[in-house]
């Protein structure tokens, strides 16, 4: 009976010792796993640094992201990943990672040092981000960024942007290996085509852009109006100015020729002279030349005054106050008013 009791007590002691040992080992397992994860994270971060120095920015971005997932306690890998994604051209993803880093970083100096980069990315417009991402799909085809780029264009919402998104989804379908990926891409393409149909069938005029809430202002087309009076002034004044100047110039030439011939007659034999000694004929030519000169330049002056009147009229009057937008330099017979543009707006 005593022997049985001793054996029972010994068995109980060993049971307690084994239980304590098992608990200790179990407690050590999480610590070992954490240490392994930290080691793997450091290895991935080092690989990311190597890739970044080699300008393999896509590989660097993914390595740094993997390093953060392995060890979320250290937020620095978010910063490195965001920097690499910015170099890739995925500015939206870069901004998201850098903002997350700024929230997790405990050191104010480090948060302050990354803020200018965050502000720069925030200042970019959605179209800039979409275009950069589209370029990244060409520079880094192995990155399979077409779906992200397509979503960026889809958010812009215009017909051209939706068509661009469809093409990007179609490119994504080329590398979609699983049936689930293909189904996702096909669903997205069908959705975009539905938006395009709705956009084409939408009533014209002020309307909200598809998916972006942007109001498209109506296009106001101004119908040209002919100014009959202004046109007549330009025609009459122009003809008088050109014709009068021509007549006056012809008078100058005629008078000059008459004087030249008369002077030549003084030294030439009578048979070779122009006026044959008829001084009255010479005076008649001179008087005719003077008359042509006076009449021609008078008419040209009147024509110039008429053109000037048309200029002033076109610049100071019109069908509406809004029409008075500039001075004029050349006739404009098809606009809302006659005038001559000189490029000065007021």
Residue 345 backbone phi and psi in degrees, to 5: -105, 150
Residue pair 282/262 in contact (Cβ under 8 Å)? The answer is: yes
**73-87, 96-110, 199-213, 268-282: segment of lowest average pLDDT:** 199-213
CA distances for 84 relative to 101, 148, 166, 289, angstroms:
14, 17, 27, 88
Task: Find tokens 């009229």 and name the residue.
Answer: 313
Residue pair 187/194 in contact (Cβ under 8 Å)? The answer is: no
Instruction: Tell me how far apart the alpha carbons of residues 21 and 31 are, in angstroms, rounded to a whole number.
Output: 16
- Judged against a pLDDT cut of 50, whether residue 341 lies above it is answered with no
Binned at pLDDT 50, 70 and 90, residue 259 comes out as confident
Instruction: Tell me how far apart the alpha carbons of residues 256 and 316 are, in angstroms, rounded to a whole number.
Output: 44
Task: Find tokens 């965050």 and name the residue.
Answer: 118
- 193-224 b/e with 16+ CB inside 10 Å = b? eebbeebeeeeeeeeebbeeeeeeeeeeeeee
Average pLDDT, the chain: 78
Q: What is the pTM of this model?
A: 0.51
Q: Which alpha helices (H) appear in 266-278, and where do they start and end?
A: none
Rounded CA Rg of the chain: 45
Three-class DSSP category at 344: coil
What pLDDT was estimated at residue 297? Answer: 86
Q: Report the percent of the chain where pLDDT is more than 90.
A: 40
What pLDDT was estimated at residue 226? Answer: 54
CA distances for 50 relative to 37, 43, 75, 249, angstroms:
20, 11, 19, 86
Q: Report the percent of the chain where pLDDT is more than 70.
A: 72
Q: Could you tell me which residues come within 8 angstroms of residue 243 by beta carbon, excluding any fewer than 6 positions away?
A: 296, 299, 300, 303
Residue-wise pLDDT for 58-88, tens only, equals 999 999 999 999 999 889 999 999 999 999 9
What pLDDT was estimated at residue 262? Answer: 77
Q: Bigger pLDDT: 46 or 33?
A: 46
């Amino acid at each position: 009976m005593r022997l049985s009791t001793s054996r029972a007590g010994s068995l109980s002691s060993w049971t307690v010792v084994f239980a304590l040992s098992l608990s200790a080992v179990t407690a050590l397992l999480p610590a070992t796993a954490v240490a392994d994860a930290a080691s793997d994270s450091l290895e991935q971060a080092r690989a990311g640094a190597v890739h970044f120095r080699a300008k393999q920015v896509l590989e660097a971005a993914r390595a740094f992201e993997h390093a953060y997932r392995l060890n979320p306690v250290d937020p620095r890998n978010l910063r490195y990943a965001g920097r690499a994604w910015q170099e890739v051209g995925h500015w939206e993803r870069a901004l998201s990672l850098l903002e997350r880093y700024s929230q997790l970083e405990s050191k104010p100096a480090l948060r302050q040092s990354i803020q200018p980069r965050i502000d720069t990315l925030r200042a970019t417009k959605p179209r800039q981000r979409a275009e950069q991402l589209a370029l990244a799909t060409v520079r880094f085809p192995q990155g399979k960024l077409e779906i992200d780029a397509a979503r960026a264009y889809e958010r812009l919402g215009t017909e051209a942007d939706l068509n661009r998104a469809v093409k990007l989804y179609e490119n994504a379908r080329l590398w979609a290996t699983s049936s689930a990926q293909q189904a996702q891409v096909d669903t997205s393409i069908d959705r975009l085509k539905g938006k395009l149909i709705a956009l084409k069938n939408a009533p014209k005029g002020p309307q909200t852009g598809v998916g972006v809430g942007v109001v498209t202002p109506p296009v106001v087309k101004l119908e040209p109006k002919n100014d009959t009076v202004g046109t007549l002034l330009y025609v009459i004044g122009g003809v008088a100015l050109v014709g009068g100047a021509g007549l006056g110039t012809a008078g100058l030439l005629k008078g000059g020729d008459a004087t030249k011939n008369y002077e030549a007659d003084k030294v030439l034999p009578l048979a070779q002279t122009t006026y044959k000694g008829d001084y009255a004929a010479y005076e008649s030519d001179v008087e005719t030349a003077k008359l042509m000169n006076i009449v021609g330049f008078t008419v040209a002056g009147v024509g110039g005054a008429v053109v000037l009147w048309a200029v002033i009229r076109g610049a100071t009057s019109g069908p509406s106050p809004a029409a008075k937008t500039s001075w004029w330099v050349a006739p404009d017979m098809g606009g809302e008013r006659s005038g001559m543009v000189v490029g000065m707006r007021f």
